[in-house]
Amino acid sequence: MDLAFSPEHTAFRDEVRAFIAASLPPHLAAKAEVDAHFEHHEVMEWHRILYQKGWAAPHWPVAQGGPGLDATRRFILADELEVANTPALSPFGLVMVGPAIIQFGTPDQQRRFLPKIMAGEEVWCQGYSEPNAGSDLASLKTSADDDGTHLIVNGQKTWTTYAQYADWIFCLVRTDAKGKKQSGITFLLIDLKTPGVTVKPFLTIGGTLAFSETWFDNVRVPKENIIGTTGGGWTVAKALLGHERTQIAAVGLSARALRRCKR
């Protein structure tokens, strides 16, 4: 098996390297050189630069604004961005909920949410884990009662990474407590500015505010914010996690770490 890049793919790699060298702002390049922490606003600055190039969501289909890169070009782009230690874009919109909306969302939902995710105009976080529902996620208790036009959400999510920066949260909520626990779960998009939402960041052992706890107290969410079907959220959640898993290899970061060790 010949694993060497084709001339076309080698040319694309050179294009990516030249783009990073020319487009990564000096203050971000300086941080990248010493492996310093990137602040949220710096991540979003780089997001906007990649968006202008058309590379913010290389895995999205062309019909939804993606660049139409083949799998090898997507790997090359991710690898070179990691090797250069550029700010890692938040995955919650681009990698997780965006592809879920592409796969399960209505045309109206796609028109409403996808362009703003792509452009970095709306930031997302994930509402899956709860104090008593982590690895056994289907045991979640956050409830969503149907009042006709809205779902009334009550409960708590934890480990909501960077919720303090987010505009929206995608949540798994329980709309039916009867029967098999996986079948009563709904995938819901919630505007974090809605009355009744409280976000409280907490310090990790490393001294960062990367995570938050998020409470919902009679939060009214329009039913048109359901992705997929009522009670069909487990299917959406599994598909979303599939997208997440394919994006965590971080081969470029591993190569960079190995070079640091050799030095």
At residue 206, the pLDDT reads: 72
pLDDT (0 to 100) of residue 210: 79
**Core vs surface per residue 77-91: b (16+ CB within 10 A) or e:** bbbbbbbbbbbebbb
**Secondary structure of residue 1 in the 3-state scheme:** coil
pLDDT (average), residues 148-156? 98
Kindly tell me if the per-residue pLDDT of 66 is higher than 90.
yes
List pLDDT tens digits, range 211-236. Answer: 899 999 999 999 999 999 999 999 99
User: Considering the domain 99-244 in this protein, what is its CATH number?
Assistant: 2.40.110.10
Structure tokens at 236: 């959406």
Torsion angle, alpha carbons of 74, 75, 80, 85, to 10: 100
Q: Catalytic site residues?
A: 244
pLDDT at 207: 72
pLDDT of residue 250: 61
- CATH 2.40.110.10 spans which residues of the chain? 99-244
Q: Is the pLDDT of residue 1 over 60?
A: no
29 contact partners, CB below 8 Å, separation of at least 6: none
More confident residue, 108 or 246: 108
The pLDDT, as a whole number, for residue 180 is 87
